[in-house]
Structure 1
Amino acid sequence: MDLTFFNRIAKSNASTNCRNGNRDFVVENPEYLKDLVAFATDLTNKNHYKAVWIIEMLVETHTKMLAPFVDIICETIPKYKHESAIRGMSRTVFFLSTSKTISLSETQQEKLIEICLDWLIGDAKVAPKAYAMYTLGHYAKKHDWIKEELRNIIDKDFASQSAGYKAAAREVLRKISK
């Protein structure tokens, strides 16, 4: 990995300007994309979550760039433990799942559905739970069993969750009830 790029990521912060700047750098220099994904999926690197922030920004605006790396991303997602990485990957899962420019394989979709269910029933923070609900709501259009599972989980947890969770849950329940 290019040491200058490595240091750029390591010294970055969570500000939108910084994350957008790093995203734009990778868009303008796509030869660094392989290094970025390697950095983000190297869970032994203490700054891996900072690379996840860039992937999160890329997948929202330049999804197709990540197509060659979807397998490694899908394989690594369940292994993240850092809260900031989980949050970024929850958005990544949502944008990959709803992308019109990337077609996920059935296996990749199953992995993403599984991790979303894990986030939803586990101890994840509100943002990953909300993105998990949105993603599962998307897949519920294709898999009827997800609707019932999602309703059961939301009904069980609704009263004890935050306002943000409840707002996302109401929106998802409304969409899957149509």
Structure 2
Amino acid sequence: MTTEQLYQELNDVNHSREKRLLYANLVIENPELIPKLMEILFTVNDKTSPRAAWVLEFACSKNIDTIIPHLDIFTEHLHKVHLDSAVRPVAKICELITKAYYSKNDSAIKTALNATHKERIIETCFDYMIHDEKVAAKAYGMTTLFLLGNEFDWIRPELKIILERDFHTQSAAFKARAKHIFYKMNKKQKM
């Protein structure tokens, strides 16, 4: 399947779980489609970009190893994504990557994710936190940054400042996630 054919196929993807899962499975079963999917995703001003992001998110949710060969490209370009409906799945993928990296279970991502990848993810997630992004991107960014704070001791103090500053002006969903992160930060400090 060419990039153009995949682009046309993505026009069938909608918000339904069924469609996203169908194309996520197609990508998982045909890994040669992932670079093409990412090319569409990172054509950031195109209306099909979010559809590619939805499919990649579902593929990564099903099997995080799907993204491993493409971490360089994904992390190099993730900061460019700006359409709200594409930012949310990209932020979710960042969270999935860091959750797999810091989980107690063995995962190939633990050897594949390098310092450059982490730095790019950190920078983008802090951008989500300080810019006018939807709450979902901020929530995924919070969790991602909190987890990366296991390794980078400067992250949590910076994250805490942002959360405290924005807490009273943000939505209930933001406050709920922030409270959860505050709880985890306090628990880590007592250990």
TM-score > 0.5, shorter chain as reference: yes
Deviation string, structure 1 residues 85-140 (Cα, Å, up to 9, x no partner): 10010001111222233131111101101111110011000000000000011011
Correspondence list, 1:93-172, <5 A? 93-99=94-100, 100-102=107-109, 103-172=112-181
Contact 2:7 2:48 in 1 (8 A): no
| Corresponding position: 1:173 with 2:179 | no
The corresponding residue for 1:91 is: 92
The gaps in structure 1 that reach 5 residues or longer are: none
CA distance in 2, matches of 1:45, 1:156: 34
Indicate the SS of the match to 2:151: coil
Give me the CA root mean square deviation: 1.4
Q: Establish whether residue 30 from structure 1 lines up as the match of residue 31 from structure 2.
A: yes
Residue in 2 that maps onto 1:16 = 17
Contact 1:141–1:176 (Cα < 8 Å) also in 2 = no
TM-aligned CA deviation for residue 172 of structure 1: 0.9
Residue pair 2:146, 2:156 contacting (<8 A) in 1 also? yes
CA contact (8 A) 1:93 1:112 kept: yes
Question: Is the CA contact (8 Å cut-off) linking 2:129 and 2:141 kept in structure 1?
Answer: yes
Q: What TM-score results when the alignment is normalised by the length of structure 2? A: 0.87
Letter in 2 for 1:75: E
The TM-score, its normalising length taken from structure 1, stands at 0.93
* Displacement of 1:27: 1.8
- The residue number in structure 2 matching 1:73 is 74
- Superposition deviation, residue 48 in structure 1: 1.2
**Distance between the aligned counterparts of 2:126 and 2:31, measured in 1?**
33
Bigger mean CA offset, 8-17 vs 24-33:
24-33
How far apart are the structure 2 equivalents of 1:173 and 1:3?
46
Q: Letter of the aligned partner of 1:28 in structure 2? A: E
TM superposition shift of 1:167: 0.7
CA contact (8 A) 1:140 1:176 kept: no
Instruction: Mark the runs of 5 or more structure 2 residues left unpaired by the alignment.
Output: 101-106
CA distance in 1, matches of 2:77, 2:66: 18
31-40 vs 138-147, greater mean Cα deviation: 31-40
Question: Secondary structure of the equivalent of 1:144?
Answer: coil
